Each structure stands twice: as structure tokens, then as C-alpha cells.
């Protein structure tokens, strides 16, 4: 099939490459000509394991091409995936739908054949209905364009495998034709047994928002338990493990620590709160305010603990920060809890050195103050305190004995509860964590 994918950020670039990889003829579209040039040359504009390989394979095979022209997109295919960003608005909690609207406004008047516009971006419930009116009022006479919603559940760092082998496909359609078309698009996955939920657009939009809200709630739940553990001497890591054995609860997303960040969970729960208010059911989801607050409290708790370990003052102290991205296996620093802690510690007068395996370039743009190091030992040299803020695999492999020889004082906060405290204590470190006994 011929498909276009409009918007080539994390979601769109991966979707375009994966759709080509399962055999479709794909045209990726973006207004950013630099990004388009990189993708056309088979280069991923961000760090995502596995993506460069499938980009190269499919651009070379001629199944994957890129353009900045919506006209070319309209001429190329009858199925158009919309994958542009829906960030939080600057003036409220709500989602900013400008990019989605701009795509629809640009594409609709150019369509010359009946078409299916399939939104994949995360949007407030009710968006498909609004966009349908917008499209209908702008298409040429005689052209029929349906809008469907097909939310995406991929995680950064696992985006390729999540797209090629998703847990489920959810499509929100208003006609049997749209349903058939999407079944054809995803036919190889359906053949492999992937669950396919076909529903109305509002339910499909809501599935995505509800899923991210549930995940965020799970994380804040365990972080709330971590606070109780700190007050009572219990251990949140063992607690999570024991809870996780209950199949109804499950261990996933019960890792307590610095909390969630990134371009999705934080803005999605806020946009949901805003949309629920509009629908006059704000009270039903008001617990998400608590979820957001608990999440932010972990950043404050980490800064407070760090200050306490340094004797009440950051000024004149050197702090090593391990990790800048919002999670490992990503170079994304959007709403990164690690960078938020780093920024606060800098603001309070500490001299910090930040290490991250992939995120330094992006981190420097957001937080230009500190020194950034490409070597962990260098970042930790003469440090009065080491903060482990993003649980990259290589930090777990660090040798605490070697590291203790370069720091000024072997003090560490494992704000991701990902290191083995016994190992570090044996090597002479004073280790603190969130929700674990001293």
C-alpha cells in the first residue's frame, strides 16, 4: 500500500520506517528540511536503538522516501498518518493542537481522491470529531475524506520493537471502509496475532490518554509508598517486588525514584485534566493533580536530601550528576527529572558536572550552565556528592572502588533505586536512596 506519514519526530520517523519495513511504500513528510535531508540519507535525527538500521534498509530499498511537500503527499497516497506533536500549551494545562490543525488545513484542500486521514498523535477526546468538520469544510467538491484515530503506544528506547510488535492496535473509525483499510495496513501484525480493537474515534482517543494516565498513576503510587517507607524504615524496592507478584497489580511501572518525565506522561495527564474540565467531569480525574504533585515532590525530595548530605549548603560544593535524559536509552531531555534536579542544585550554588551517555547535546541546550563530561570518572572527580539520576545500564556496571578513588567524599544518592547499595557500602560509600532504609 502507499502511505504518507506526516510529522517525522519520534513517533512519525519510527512509524514511517516501520511501515516501510513491513512492505508499504511510504512517503515521510515534515516542514523541517534539515530533518528530511537527514532521514532521506538514512540518518535518524535522534537516538533510538534499531532505528538507523531500518531507515537505511528501507531508504535503500526505495520503499521509504521523504519530502517537505504536502502537495506531493496528497498526490502520492490515499492514506495519510498524522504524527505531529501535541505539546502542552504555554498558557494552560491543555494540549496545543496547532500542529495537527495545520496538517489538516494544509492537506485537505489538496486532496483530489477519496482519502483516509489517520491521526496517531495523542489528542484530547473529541478531537477526531472536530477535525472531521474541519476537513469536510475544506475538501474539494466530490472528494470524501474520513478522519480516523489510531493512537500509538510506543516507548522511546523501544520504539521500533513496540511499533513492529505492539501489545495491541487500537483504531477509532466511523466507517467499515476505514476499518478495512487499517486492517490492510497492519495485516502482517494481525497475522502474527496482535490484538486489534476497532472502536469509535472518541474511545480510541481516550484509550491512549487513559493508558498514559494509568501508567503515571502507578509510578506516583509507588513514589507515594516510597515516602511512607522513608518515614517508617520500610524498603520500597522489596515492597514493589512483593506487590508485583500479584498478577492483578504487576511489577511494571512500580520502580520508585525520581519519577516520570519526558514528552508524554507529564503533558498527557495535564491535558486530560484540562479536557475533563471542559467536559464538566473534572472531579472524576482530579486525582491526576495528586499524581502530578507526587511526581514533582520526588525532585524536591532529592534536592533536599542532597543538601542535607552536604551539611545544609550547596554553595562551594561539587556535585556529580549521572544522567540527564528523562530515561535511559534515549537522548530526550524533555521534562527530564534529572535535569530539573541538576538545574535546582545549580541555582542553589553547587558546582556540578553532568554525565550522560547520549543526552549531553540536548541537555546543554536546555541547561547551559554546568560542565558536561563524556567520561564518568571525569564527572565524578573531586565530587562531594554523586547523584545517580537516570538509570543507564553502564552506571550499574560502575566499579564503586575505582570511583571512590576519584571523588572527594564517597557519598551517593541513588535516586532511581537501580544500584546495589550493599556493593557500594562495602566499597566505603555512604549511600542514600528514595524509599529505602539507610
Residue ranges that bind ligand UGA, judged by CB under 6 A: 122, 152-156, 212, 215, 219, 253-255, 257, 259-262, 264-265, 326-327
Rounded alpha-carbon distances, angstroms, from residue 311 to 108, 316, 384, 392: 62, 12, 11, 28
What residues form DSSP beta bridges with 197?
170
- Reported as half-sphere exposure (CB side, CA atoms, 13 A), residue 165 has a value of 3
Q: Between residues 24 and 218, which has the closer beta carbon with respect to ligand UGA?
A: 218
Rounded distance, CA 327 to CA 314, Å?
A: 25
Q: Give me the least distance between CB of 230 and ligand UGA, in Å please.
A: 16
- Taking the C-alpha atoms of residue 209 and residue 212, their distance in angstroms, rounded to an integer, is 5
Of 127 and 255, nearer to ligand UGA (C-beta) is: 255
The distance of closest approach from Cβ of residue 265 to ligand UGA in the complex, given in angstroms and rounded to an integer, is 5
User: Cell 530533518 sits at which residue?
Assistant: 35
Nearer of residues 265 and 412 to ligand UGA, judged by Cβ: 265
Q: How far is the CB of 418 from ligand UGA (least distance, A)?
A: 10
Q: Tell me the CA distances in angstroms from 371 to 195, 326, 331, 356, 379, one per residue in order.
A: 48, 19, 18, 12, 8
214 closest CA partner among 268, 278, 158, 280: 268
Helix and strand numbers (H, E) in the chain are 19, 14
Shortest Cβ 48–ligand UGA spacing (Å)? 10
Contact in structure between 216 and 206 (CB atoms under 8 Å) = no
Q: How many CB atoms lie within 10 A of CB 231?
A: 9
Alpha-carbon distance of 146 to 160, in angstroms, equals 28
* Residue of 18, 83, 229, 264 with catalytic role: 264
Do 310 and 317 touch, CB atoms closer than 8 A? Answer: yes
18 is catalytic: no
**Which position has the grid cell 484509550?**
207
Nearer to ligand UGA, 152 or 230 (CB): 152
| Residue 79 vs 215, nearer CB to ligand UGA | 215
Q: To 10 degrees, what angle do helices 51-60 and 33-40 make?
A: 80
Considering beta carbons, is residue 115 or 295 the nearer one to ligand UGA? 295
Q: What is the distance in angstroms between the CA of the first residue and the CA of the last residue of the chain? A: 59
d(CA 389, CA 2): 44
Give me the least distance between CB of 259 and ligand UGA, in Å please. Answer: 5
How far apart are CB 159 and ligand UGA at their closest, in Å? 8
Q: Which is nearer to ligand UGA, 155 or 381 (CB)?
A: 155
What three-state secondary structure class fits 354? strand
Cell triple for residue 74? 496528497
Strand order in the sheet with 115-119: 64-67, 25-29, 2-6, 79-82, 115-119, 145-149, 168-172, 195-199
**Which of 189/219 has CB closer to ligand UGA?**
219
In angstroms, give the least distance from the CB of 317 to ligand UGA.
26
CA–CA dist 317, 256 (Å, integer): 27
CA 8, distance to chain mean position in Å, is: 15
Q: How far is the CB of 156 from ligand UGA (least distance, A)?
A: 4
d(CA 389, CA 261): 12
Active site (catalytic) residues: 264
Amino acid at each position: 500500500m502507499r502511505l504518507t506519514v506526516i510529522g517525522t519526530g519520534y513517533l512519525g520517523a519510527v512509524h514511517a520506517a516501520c511501515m516501510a519495513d513491513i512492505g508499504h511504500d511510504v512517503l515521510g513528510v515534515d516542514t523541517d528540511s534539515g530533518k528530511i535531508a537527514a532521514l532521506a540519507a538514512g540518518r535518524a535525527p535522534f537516538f533510538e536503538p534499531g532505528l538507523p538500521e531500518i531507515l537505511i534498509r528501507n531508504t535503500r530499498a526505495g520503499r521509504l522516501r521523504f519530502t517537505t511537500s504536502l502537495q506531493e503527499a496528497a498526490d502520492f497516497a490515499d492514506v495519510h498518518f498524522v504524527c505531529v506533536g501535541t505539546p502542552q500549551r504555554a498558557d494552560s494545562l491543555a494540549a496545543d493542537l496547532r500542529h495537527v490543525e495545520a496538517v489538516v488545513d494544509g492537506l485537505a484542500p489538496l486532496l483530489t481522491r477519496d482519502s483516509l486521514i489517520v491521526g496517531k498523535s495523542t489528542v484530547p477526546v473529541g478531537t477526531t470529531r472536530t477535525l472531521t468538520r474541519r476537513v469536510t469544510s475544506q475538501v474539494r467538491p466530490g472528494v470524501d475524506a474520513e478522519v480516523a484515530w489510531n493512537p500509538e503506544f510506543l516507548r522511546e528506547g523501544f520504539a521500533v520493537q513496540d511499533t513492529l510488535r505492539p501489545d495491541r492496535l487500537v483504531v477509532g473509525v466511523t466507517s467499515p471502509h476505514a476499518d478495512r483499510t487499517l486492517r490492510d495496513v497492519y495485516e502482517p501484525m494481525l497475522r502474527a496475532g496482535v490484538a486489534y480493537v476497532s472502536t469509535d474515534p472518541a474511545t480510541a482517543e481516550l484509550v491512549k490518554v487513559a493508558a498514559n494516565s494509568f501508567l503515571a498513576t502507578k509510578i506516583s503510587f509507588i513514589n507515594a509508598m516510597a515516602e511512607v517507607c522513608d518515614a517508617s524504615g520500610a524498603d520500597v524496592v522489596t515492597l514493589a517486588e512483593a506487590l508485583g507478584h500479584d498478577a492483578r497489580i504487576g511489577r511494571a511501572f512500580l520502580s520508585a525514584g525520581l519519577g516520570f518525565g519526558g514528552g508524554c506522561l507529564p503533558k498527557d495527564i495535564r491535558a486530560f485534566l484540562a479536557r475533563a474540565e471542559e467536559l464538566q467531569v473534572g472531579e472524576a480525574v482530579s486525582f491526576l493533580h495528586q499524581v502530578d504533585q507526587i511526581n514533582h515532590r520526588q525532585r524536591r525530595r532529592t534536592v533536599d536530601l542532597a543538601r542535607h548530605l552536604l551539611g545544609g549548603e550547596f554553595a562551594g560544593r561539587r556535585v556529580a550528576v549521572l544522567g540527564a535524559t528523562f530515561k535511559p536509552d534515549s537522548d530526550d531531555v524533555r521534562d527530564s527529572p534529572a535535569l530539573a534536579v541538576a538545574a535546582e542544585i545549580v541555582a542553589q550554588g553547587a558546582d556540578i558536572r553532568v554525565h550522560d551517555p547520549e543526552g549531553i547535546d540536548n541537555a546543554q541546550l536546555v541547561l547551559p550552565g554546568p560542565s558536561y563530561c563524556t567520561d564518568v570518572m571525569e564527572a565524578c572527580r573531586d565530587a562531594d556528592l554523586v547523584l545517580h539520576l537516570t538509570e543507564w545500564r553502564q552506571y550499574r556496571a560502575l566499579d564503586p572502588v575505582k570511583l571512590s578513588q576519584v571523588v572527594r567524599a564517597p557519598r551517593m544518592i541513588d535516586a532511581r533505586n537501580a544500584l546495589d547499595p550493599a556493593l557500594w557500602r562495602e566499597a566505603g560509600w555512604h549511600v542514600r536512596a528514595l524509599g529505602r532504609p539507610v
